[in-house]
Amino acid sequence: MRLPTLRSLLLATALAAAPSAHAADKPASLGLGVFTFLSGPAAAYGLPGKQGAELIIEQINAEGGIGGVPVAATFVDEAQGAEGVISEYRRLAESDSVEAMIAALSSGNCLALSPLATQLQMPTIAWNCDTHQLFLKDASSYYFRPNGNTVAEFVAYVVYFLEQHPDVQRVAIINPDYAFGHDAASIVKAALAALKPDVEIVAELFPKLGAATYQTEISRLSASRPDVIFSNLWGGDLENFVRQATPRGLFRQSTVVLALGETVLQSTDLPEGTIVGVLGDGWWRSPDAQRIGKAEAFAEAYEEKYGSYPVFPTMKMANSILVLKAAYEKAIEANGGEWPSQEQVAEALKGLTVETMTGDVTLREDNDGVVDQVIGTVGSEGDLPSIADMARFDGAALLPPAGEDPIAWIETLTPAFLEGQPKPGSYQ
Amino acid sequence: MSSQATSAAPLLQASGLEISFGGVKAADGVNLTVHEGEFVAIIGPNGSGKTTFLNICTGYLKPSRGQVFLAGRDITQLPPRSIARQGIARAFQIPQLFTDHSLIDNLMLSIAARHGIWQALSPLDRPEYRAEAMEILELLGLAAHADTLTGTLPEGLRKLADITLAFALDPRLLVLDEPTSGVSSIERFQIMETLMKAMRSRKLSALFVEHDMDVVERYADRVVVWNAGHVMAEGRPAEVMQDPRVLESVVGVA
Amino acid sequence: MLQTVAPLLMDALANAALIFFVAFGLTLTFSVLRILNVAHGSFYSIGAYVAASAGLFIVGAGLNPWLTYPSLILSAAAVAALFGPLVEKTLVRWTYGRGEAVQILMTFGLFLILEDLQRMVFGVNSLYEDTPMALLGITEIGGVVYLNYQILLIALAALTLVGLRIFIRHTRTGRLLHVVVADREVSEAMGIDTGRMFTLAFTLGVFLAALGGALATPTTGVAPGLGAETMVLAFAVAAIGGLGQVEGAALAAVIVAAARVLAIYFAPELDAVAPYLVMLVVLLVRPYGLFGKAAVRRI
Amino acid sequence: MPKPLIGLAAGVALLAALPLAVPFMTFVVTLAVAKGFAALGVALLLRAGLISLGHAMYFAIGAYTTAFLMQKTGITDFAILVAASIIVATLAGLAFGAFLVRYRAIFFAMLNLAVSMVIYALCSKLYGVTGGTDGLRVGVPTVFAWVPEKAAFDTFLLYATLGLMLVLGWLGHRYLKSPLGHALAAVHTNEVRLEYLGVSAWSTLLTAYGISAGLAGLGGALSAMAIGHVLPEFAFWTESGHLVLTAVLGGVGGVAGPFIGSIFLELVHVVAVGVAAEAWNLIIGVALICVIFFLPRGLFGLIEGRRGKTGGTDL
Amino acid sequence: MLKVENLDVEIAGVDVLRRVSFTLTAGAVTVLVGRNGAGKTTTLRAIMGLLPWKGGRVEVDGTELGGLPGNARAGIGLGYAPEDRRLIPDLSVEENILVPGLARKMPAPELKQRLDEVYDLLPQLGTLRARPAGGVSGGQGKIVALGRALMIADKVLMLDEPFQGLAPALALDYARTLQRCHEQKRDIAILVTESTPKLLDAIASDTLLLERGEIVRAEP
């Protein structure tokens, strides 16, 4: 049982956290509020994130912390709903026990927190929410997303499977019934319409988020005989779907694209040929990760500590904290070695480019991160989770310019767009 | 028209009422009239449809055929609340009280209902309601129990309390369903005596179902004998009680 | 024709079988105890957790995989034996004869407690154990592959319905239960140990919920939050059938399942709302459910 | 000054002063009182013996009305937003109530649940209107000609909420003591007699239902402004369960009960999050069962003592 | 046969019975009279264990009832017909009568024999046996309730207000039936609460007058 750890952490944080009223004073520790799903079906995705935060903070502290200050995290469960998340955010911010936040996992919570970050002048890093709505509505000077955006992510998937299966005619979509699922479906449909107009969408299903059984959906998908099934199901839902669909032959019948498939590589037997990938570049075994040379050690330490290898939410979380670390270091330097104020940290985050464990990330002018997309197919390689036939898509090429309507931007693409894109297997 | 022709106008008039439950006719062409100021008793064997008749007159049931008039106005299809507002108040075989309220609150609610319930911001407990309620309680000898929760009153008193609620509506016709059943023989006449006095003082008409022949003989102006969903005999108590059919089916031969 | 209808029918029945047990338990508890047990869904998820854990143990210990079958039933029985009498005697018994508000709140409190207890005991990660499903293989119907386990579930649900009907109508205990349902006090005066009957009925309800959960594990994962989801679905099914109506629950399970299947096939947007829309429509037309009767008040 | 009034004054003064000492309590207290309005609505119906397992829908309707008006019509005035939310929620309450209040007991509870689940589904489906599962953002309202900063508005919102609590609490108190309020309790104990007194149980209940929906809508509007975001979860059935729980915990015997319950719960929450975040539901569940066992009149009953026997609804 | 000693019962904090004592003997009919609210029904319900006692003891043939659960009364031979009949409406008349036998787990032959005995005593039931109990009239229902009580009344038969709500003719009929029971079952004690004692004059052996929860007069 992991819960006592959480409790002791909370207590430790409460005791250790010192007020940072005078930004110039170096605090005893750098308090960090970390928001993720710790319970409910979404915890299957949120918990690896939390563990990633624990491990990377442990490693940062072992190397002397950030600017000589150890980091102490307070974890908040997003499963309590927006209202609870917001009151926790405010409580942490206004109680002066934290200086920065890593929040949040769910898009709804990110949308709710971003104006709050500005209001409370709290540098906040969205570690996972990918919704393209986030920075469309209003700009926030304290809210940053150094990772994926749904547009880049799902356009990349469409490009990948079109290149791998050029004669695709029938496509089915099964996504969770909430904004993330619907957004992804509209992006996929728009991209298909632009890149391969003769493709027919034969089924479009949106099972309830957290649904336990997908049997009817599987029958329906099976009956509509699609060439490709696209899905951005995730967490417990994805695991459920894979385990129910595999014995019923769905993976033999069609090519299945699981946008968040990397997270279940270790827990389920995904049939070979299934297209999987990570949202962003957070694949710890990618060539770039190996080139940078930190991810593998991190993964081994992670396996040692938690009994399984990291999944991409783990890497996203760790990378987010590394981005924050870089921002603090930049701000300290800019501040002449003095501990920075929260305003200075936010300033440092603007336009920052950081080399994370898996690649480069650049925060562009609207605070959205430009990140490459790594996609491949399920491979077989010993005991380690593996992805073959990889392609790495340039994040900047797949992202609509800041402030532009993403769907309208996708509609401007043409089949010729495919030619300039990396091919499956090109990333080695 | 009954043998006892009265000069008073008919207050309640039921004509040709029919209703059946699962094939059994509980009312089969019933005609019955109550005149202004009259006390009419209904007697009859169990299950002959007496309570059903009261239920039709007060709107709880709708007859499949026939009509009920109150002072010439057709009330057949009206719900109980409209009929109550037209001037028929009812007391029940099983007392129907607001058991979580004190007796006086019960009565004040009844009085408030008469004045119009749509008062959301002025209190129920106001002097004029309280005075009127106490007056009724004193009339029926319940003043000592004014502050008792009606749920905790003993059965006999609850019966009486139920009647006071009907009283407080200041009706033209009071309908009573077995006012003395469940009341011990020791108290029966006492209660009826109080009741009759109160009714006379308010010039009420009454229609009541009763099993106790002594009570009927003493207090009813007219008796209607019920049998298997129709009126078998009707008239002055002393006459009706001599009818051999009535003797056999209702009163019983010792 | 058959090609297209067969999968629809098969999906509807398989779906119905999954919700049948838990809805049936809810309605049974209500019919005897007159209590709407809000914690009923928790017993479903606890049954699922215990069954999945037991299955994982059997597989992990290298025992005969067919042992997972009896373990499904035994898990449900164990949950019922532990929680049924305990909860009935300590909490539920206290609410008899009090208002619905107390009953609903008491069981809502229990629901909150059980949700956290499950999280503490079983953790927050999903549990999967699909050995029983894997043992049975697959069948193709109308061009769609189905699991034989799904077909087994349909048969089990039908068998349970018939079995419980016989129990209620034709056994001594069943008849006495009927009397207890109609009039508690008279039952007591006639010599029926009503306390025992209540415990029995409640435990049977818990068993059915836990069994529903246990039988679902071979095809679905168990994760926190399952109880709350199942609860509303069971509510809807029980209400559509008429609270306390055993056959009603069975028919309602099929109707709700069919509505969801039709939604998924023809109007996916309506999938999540389907059970509630059916419930609203049914209750508007028949306020007390398909098989329910209004209580007529004698005055 | 009678004793209960002194207690009331002390309680409100404490609530007003608390945020001065602990700044983040501004939000906690505002939210607690806002939810108290919704719980009061639920408590009104509980007096009539009706338990609504769907009242969170009116809370959500109020919240969405505020969010929608701000985002789609540009209306930002606090008073207009609050009034509009109350009106929309009340109208919705009257529309659904017209058929819901025909039912009693479990059936009432379940039908409310069903309607609220449909509303919940609509909130997450109607992207154009509700923003889907991402919900809608609520900006900082204006107050007449004043365009406040968020922090200043939060302070204003707290005192406005407390003021509304006093005004509506007083009106609610008058309502419960009035003939119409007593008729509500009378529906619970004897509907047949009420009808035979010439009072329509349906209209009595519908009035109460409309009021309770309006109160929930007000709570939703205030919460939306405090939180700054509205989500479909506001309408989920467990939220409705929590509203009932809040009402019962506080006590439905008087107007103060639901507010006491709500403030108590929020405070326990603040403490529990630091000490035993993972056992939050468990703590509330145990507290609820203890209240049912030992304090049938709720926390309010504890304060109230044994005063006022009649008309008080024990659960 | 049945001995009540100093029975005290309290309902919602109010003393309803105060030191009630009396004895029932086999073959005798005891009538308990009194005003409403005097405690007649309460006495029967307390003996049947449907209400808790505050003090006192009740013995049946030397068996103390105090420690036994309510449902054990029927098992030791107390038959009880409540005032409002309380039949199970959707069971047939015969099924209703059989209920106490089933509860006592009587073997089939004994059930049959006792049922025949009840039909002998109450021939009115013969024609009703297959009718649903919900469909019989009030007067008939009283007879069914009597039959149901007789099914297990090996020692004591207790009838609460049997004439209540019966039209006079039916009441007379019921009184005659009761007399027949009394004559044929001399080995059981009968206790009747009644507000119209004249109907029972013919068979009453003892009359107890209950006032405000106390027995104020007992006359043989």
pLDDT for residue D82: 95
Percent of chain A at pLDDT > 90 equals 36
Cis bond upstream, residue A104 (ω within 30): yes
Instruction: Answer yes or no: is C171 within a domain.
Output: yes
- Which residue of C104, C112, C121, C282 to mutate against D (max D Cβ within 10 Å)? C112
Average pLDDT across chain A, whole number: 85
* E20-39 pLDDT per residue, tens: 888 888 888 888 888 777 78
Query: Which of D241, D242, D216, D195 is CA-nearest to residue D90?
Result: D216
Q: What is the pLDDT of residue A221?
A: 92
C183 belongs to a structural domain: yes
Asked whether the beta carbons of residue C105 and residue D248 sit closer than 8 angstroms, the reply is yes
Q: Provide the number of structural domains found in chain C.
A: 1
Decide if pLDDT at A55 tops 80: yes
Alpha-carbon gap, residue B69 to B85, rounded angstroms: 14
Q: In what order do the strands lie in the sheet with A100-102?
A: A71-77, A30-36, A100-102, A124-125, A143-144
Report pLDDT for C7.
82
Helix D105-125 with D56-68: angle, nearest 10 deg: 30
Q: Which residues from chain B sit within 8 angstroms of residue D200, using beta carbons?
A: 81
Q: What angle do CA C229, C233, C238 make, to 5 degrees?
A: 145
Assess whether pLDDT exceeds 50 at residue A4: no
B105 and B228 in a single domain? The answer is no
Structure tokens at A65: 């912390």
Mean pLDDT in chain C? 87
Q: Where in chain A is the domain with CATH 3.40.50.2300?
A: 30-148+289-358, 151-279+372-420
Tell me the percentage of chain B whose pLDDT exceeds 70: 94
Task: Answer yes or no: do D132 and A133 touch at CB < 8 A.
Answer: no
Domain residues for the domain of C179 are 20-226
| Collapsed DSSP state (helix, strand, coil) of residue D184 | helix
Structure tokens at B47: 């299950």
Mark whether B178 and B247 lie in a shared domain: yes
Would you say residue E150 has pLDDT above 70?
yes
Taking only the tens place, the pLDDT of each residue in B134-166 is 988 988 888 888 998 888 887 778 888 998 999
If asked whether residues B163 and B194 sit together in one domain, one would say no
Domain chopping of chain E, boundaries:
2-219
d(CA A311, CA A268): 13
pLDDT at res. C46: 95
Residue D39 CA to residue C241 CA, distance in Å, equals 31
- Which of D44, D173, D193 to mutate to test binding with chain B, by most B CBs within 10 Å of its CB? D193
Neighbours of chain A (3+ CB pairs under 8 A): C, D
Torsion on CA atoms B30, B36, B39, B42, rounded to nearest 10: 10
Which uninterrupted H or E stretch holds A115?
helix A107-120
Q: Which domain holds residue B60?
A: 1-87+171-254
Check: CB of residue C9 under 8 Å from CB of residue D82.
no
Asked if D248's CB is within 8 angstroms of C276's CB, the reply is no
List pLDDT tens digits, range C121-154.
988 777 888 888 888 888 888 778 888 999 999 9
CATH number of A151-279+372-420: 3.40.50.2300
Strand order, beta sheet including A200-205: A200-205, A170-174, A228-231, A255-258, A275-277, A373-378, A387-393
Query: What subunits touch chain D, counting only 3 or more CB pairs under 8 A?
Result: A, B, C
Handedness of CA E139, E145, E146, E151 (dihedral sign): positive
Distance from CA of B109 to the nearest CA of D (A): 6
pLDDT 10s digits, B197-223: 888 888 889 999 988 888 888 888 999
**This prediction's pTM:** 0.86
The burial class, CB within 10 Å (0-12 / 13-18 / 19+), for B211 is buried
pLDDT tops 60 at residue C176: yes
Let me know whether B250 and B178 are in one domain.
yes
B74 and B115: one domain?
no
The number of folded domains in chain B is 2
Residue C295 per-residue DSSP state: P
Name, in order, each residue with C-beta under 8 angstroms of A83's C-beta and a sequence gap of 6 or more. Answer: D31, D223, D227, D234
Which residue from E41, E147, E77, E71 is spatially nearest to C187, judged by alpha carbons?
Answer: E71
Distance CA B105, CA B113 (A): 12
Q: What are φ and ψ of residue D66, in 5° steps? A: -60, -50
For D167, counting Cβ atoms within 10 Å of its Cβ (0-12 exposed, 13-18 middle, 19+ buried), the class is: exposed
B76 shares its domain with B103: no
Confidence of residue B3 (pLDDT cuts 50, 70, 90): very low
Q: Which amino acid is at A123?
A: P
pLDDT, mean of residues B9-35? 85
Residues of C in contact with A43 (CB under 8 A): 124-125, 223-224
- What residue type is E115 in one-letter code? L
Domains of chain D: 3-307 (1.10.3470)
Distance of residue E135 Cα from the nearest chain C Cα, in angstroms: 14
pLDDT < 70 stretches in chain D: 1-4, 274, 276-277, 302-315
Cα C92 to chain centroid distance, Å, stands at 18
Residues 6+ positions from A175 with CB-CB distance below 8 Å? A181, A182, A184, A185, A205, A206, A230, A231, A232, A233
Residue B150 sits in the same domain as residue B198: no
Q: Which of C89-93, C98-102, C267-271 has the highest mean pLDDT?
A: C89-93
Q: Provide the ipTM.
A: 0.83
Residue range B52-56: average pLDDT? 89
Using a pLDDT cut of 70, give the percent of chain A over it.
93
Is CATH 3.40.50.300 correct for E2-219? yes
pLDDT at D2: 64
Q: Is A162 helix (H, G, I), strand (E, B) or coil?
A: helix
Which residues in chain E have their CB less than 8 angstroms from residue C185's CB? 50, 82, 86
CATH of domain A30-148+289-358: 3.40.50.2300
What pLDDT sits at residue B118? 80
Which residue in the set C36, C236, C273 is minimally distant from D106, CB to CB? C36
Min CA distance, D22 vs chain B (Å)?
38
Answer yes or no: are the C-beta atoms of E24 and E200 closer than 8 Å: no
- Select from E195, E198, E210 the residue whose CB has the most chain B CBs within 10 Å, as the one to mutate to test that interface: E195
CB A258: neighbour CB atoms within 10 A?
Answer: 26
Write the CB contacts of B135 (distance below 8 Å, at least 6 apart in sequence).
none
Q: Which of D175, D195, D313 shows the shortest C-beta gap to B120?
A: D175
pLDDT tens figures, E74-92: 888 889 988 877 888 888 8
Calpha distance B86→B105 (Å, rounded): 23
The phi and psi torsions of C212 (rounded to 5 degrees) equal -55, -45
Pairing of the two strands E156-160 and E189-193: parallel
B18 and B43 inside one domain: yes
The b/e string for D117-151 (b: 16+ C-beta within 10 A; e otherwise) is: bbbbbbbbbeeeebbbbbbbbbebbbbeeeebeee
Instruction: Give the phi and the psi of residue A204 in degrees, each rounded to 5.
Output: -140, 100
| Whole-number Cα distances in Å, B232 to B32, B63, D21 | 11, 20, 84
The pLDDT, as a whole number, for residue D303 is 66
A193 vs A205: CA distance, rounded Å: 18
